[in-house]
Amino acid sequence: MEKQENKMNFKEHSAIFRRGVKYLFELNCSGTIYIILHAFLESVIPYIPIYFSAKLLDVIFEKANYSIIVWYVVLTVGLVFLLNLLCTWMKIAEFINWNSMCWQELWMYSKKEMSMAYSCTESHDVTSLMERNLMESRTGYNLFYLYQSFQNLITQGTNIVASIAMTVSFFFLDAVPLPVKFGFIAGIIITVICGIFTTAKQEAINQNFFSKCVNDNILDHKFTEYLNNYNTGMDIRLYAMDDLIVNSMVDLNAKFNNMYLKSDAKRMALSIPFALLNHILKFGVYIILITAASEGAVSVGSIAKYVACTMMLLNAISQLVKTLQQAFSNNYYLRRYFSYFDIPNTMYQGTLTVEKRLDTEYYIEFKDVSFRYPNMETYGLRHVNLKFKIGEKLAVVGVNGSGKTTFIKLLCRLYDPTEGEILLNGVNIKKYDYNEYMSIFSVVFQDFQLFSFTVGQNVAAAKEYDAERALQCLIRAGFGDRLDTMPAGINTFLYKDYDESGVEISGGEAQKIALARALYKDAPFIVLDEPTAALDPVSEYEVYHKFNELAGDKTAVYISHRLASCRFCDNIIVFDSGNIIQNGSHETLVADKTGKYYELWDAQAQYYTDEKQETTRDLTQRKAIEIS
């Protein structure tokens, strides 16, 4: 554990562990019940042959009737067989439910990511906390140790109760002197105290070891992902990066092994006193019982029973101490684990329904809006005032870092303004139902994501969808010809993560699918946030112009640092250092030769000319080749 972690008192440990057990029931109630039943049954089974074997030895020694001997044998073998059969079935059911529990835990992470404020998903602290929790879970802490500790507590608790129940008569034997009995109890107490001390020290060594390995484990996991991800295969081969990655992993593993050997040596040294005490106590039990037996105070069967149960009692106490120490250790990890799921969603959700107007008269207004990203001192936007009407085509231009994407994030309510307000038809957008307000936007960001599902599922962003509608959207987005070449058409998987027959697509093809997805949603607002930045300026202009026609009477917001791509828009706003410095049509803005827009236009004009000339030359050469 890291030294700066606050220590927990017993009450806090108890609260965290209780919450953990409740969490197990939430993940898989039936599976947790199987844990309890299986642990209890598995603990009870060993005591059945001990009890009946003791009885069997006594009746044999007493030369009892043969039928009684057979009866004890049948009871011993029969009960153990039936209970072992039931225990095996429970173990299988427990294993199945454990796998289900692990999948449910992963789903909890997904649910949390979708329910938290978007600002948290972009927070380095939050993502680091999530990655650390996942890494610690892979090393056994959190869910697995909670599961194991809960199971072991039931197991060892049952063992202790059963052992005491079967050895309690030992303390009433007159043949065993009272000082010997007290000495035996004192030996158990000393052994337990030594076990507590030993286990605590060993767990402290473990905690220190794993806390030093956190960053290395994350890095090693990243290297493994690079090697296992087929998308990185080309770069690794072309640039001979295999030695770099493998050698880095070897160095990390060597460092890990050296630290592990040192910590393991310390753990082994600490375990010696406890092991010695345990064996001394067991030796003492044998001496006491043999002495009592020699005086005829203990039967042969009782000797076997007392010895076996005493050994099991000592082992159960030892394991219980270890389990409690592991549980206490894991509670620190659980506290951090639950702290991720306890992150509140600070975004006000709102309750108002977005108004459905027959006249489609909707207005968006930015009213003196300023915004600063969390933990940042500088503002991303300052005093933005803007009003536009539904159906307008709005272009947002400016150099990289000028505030264009931040403007869109506020418009879509991924963030709330630091100052000022954004209004929809005169109502602060925070008052609208959050999910309903989000549903009115179709956005294609520059770093849009396609998934390893079918083409149709990527377009519809859903498992079940209208195939004909998705097909029409793909055709309208210009993906029809490529779709015709795909083996399963709209049902073809993208990439090979989930299906070996999945197809690879180019960046331009991916952009068309993303555009089709925006069309499929059919939201009143369509936003393109530089999704074509990888294309040349002429190709980008063609995509934007075509999509402008597809948008029809919807409100379309186009973001680009290339001015020529957005000339067809009704209105253009120019961002610079987080401020709107110009606002107007292309003709108006380019006429102002003292403005920023003209400065950018003039700087880019030669590049556009060169691109057009090169494109024209390529087409001319191609036609000449075809003619010849």
> Is residue 352 situated within a structural domain?
no
Q: Please, which residues bridge with residue 558 across strands?
A: 395, 528
> Is residue 354 situated within a structural domain?
no
Tell which residue, 317, 323, 307, 308, has the closest CA to residue 274: 317
CA distance 250 to 261: 16
The answer to whether the beta carbons of residues 514 and 544 sit under 8 Å apart is no
Residue 31 vs residue 201, higher pLDDT: 31
pLDDT per position as a tens digit, 87-131:
899 888 888 888 888 889 888 988 898 888 888 888 888 888 898
Complete DSSP assignment for 476-522: HTT-HHHHHTSTTGGGPBBSSSS-TT-B---HHHHHHHHHHHHHHHT
- Output the six-digit token pair for 342: 């306890």
Which of 162-176, 286-300, 423-437, 444-458 is the least confident region? 286-300
Q: Does one domain contain both 318 and 383?
A: no
> Is residue 548 situated within a structural domain?
yes
**Of 341, 375, 400, the domain-final residue:** 341
Complete DSSP assignment for 385-412: EEEEETT-EEEEE-STTSSHHHHHHHHT
Checking if the pLDDT of 236 tops 60, the result is yes
pLDDT at 120: 86
The CATH number covering residue 95 comes to 1.20.1560.10
Task: Report the chain's mean pLDDT, rounded to a whole number.
Answer: 82
pLDDT at 161: 92
pLDDT at 628: 39
Mean pLDDT over 539-558 rounds to 75
pTM above 0.75, yes or no: no
Question: In which band, very low, low, confident or very high, does the pLDDT at 341 lie, cut at 50, 70 and 90?
Answer: very high
Mean pLDDT over 419-431 rounds to 91
Tell me the residue type at 367.
K
> Is residue 118 situated within a structural domain?
yes
Mean pLDDT over 231-257 rounds to 75
Q: Which range marks the domain in which residue 214 is found?
A: 10-341
Q: Does one domain contain both 215 and 91?
A: yes
> Is residue 52 situated within a structural domain?
yes
Percent of the chain scored above 90 by pLDDT? 21
Checking if the pLDDT of 622 tops 50, the result is no
Mean pLDDT over 27-48 rounds to 91
The CATH number covering residue 460 comes to 3.40.50.300
Complete DSSP assignment for 123-173: -HHHHHHHHHHHHHHHTTTTHHHHHHHHHHHHHHHHHHHHHHHHHGGGGG-
**How open is the CA angle 530-532-536, to the nearest 5 degrees?**
120
Phi (first) and psi of residue 452, to 5 degrees: -80, 45
CA end-to-end span of the chain: 76
- CA atoms in the 13 A half-sphere facing the CB of 280: 13
**Of 287, 310, 341, the domain-final residue:** 341
Q: Does one domain contain both 130 and 232?
A: yes
pLDDT per position as a tens digit, 516-527:
998 898 888 888
Q: Does one domain contain both 478 and 575?
A: yes
> Is residue 493 situated within a structural domain?
yes
- 323 CB neighbour count, 10 Å cutoff: 22
> Is residue 5 situated within a structural domain?
no
Q: Does one domain contain both 166 and 257?
A: yes
Q: Does one domain contain both 593 and 519?
A: yes
> Is residue 80 situated within a structural domain?
yes
Tell which residue, 2, 74, 89, has the closest CA to residue 41: 89
The answer to whether the beta carbons of residues 352 and 375 sit under 8 Å apart is no
572 contact partners, CB below 8 Å, separation of at least 6: 394, 395, 396, 397, 563, 566, 582, 583, 584, 585, 586, 589, 597
Tell which residue, 347, 369, 470, 357, has the closest CA to residue 413: 347
Percent of the chain scored above 70 by pLDDT? 90
What is the total count of domains within the chain? 2
Q: Does one domain contain both 418 and 331?
A: no
Q: Does one domain contain both 565 and 533?
A: yes
Mean pLDDT over 169-186 rounds to 80
Question: In which band, very low, low, confident or very high, does the pLDDT at 78 lie, cut at 50, 70 and 90?
Answer: confident
Q: Does one domain contain both 481 and 551?
A: yes
Mean pLDDT over 582-601 rounds to 90
Question: In which band, very low, low, confident or very high, does the pLDDT at 24 lie, cut at 50, 70 and 90?
Answer: very high
Checking if the pLDDT of 536 tops 70, the result is no
**Of 341, 373, 389, the domain-final residue:** 341
Q: Does one domain contain both 258 and 379?
A: no
Per-range mean pLDDT, top range of 127-136, 167-176, 469-478: 469-478
Distances (CA, A) of 272 to 10, 57, 216, 288: 28, 36, 31, 25
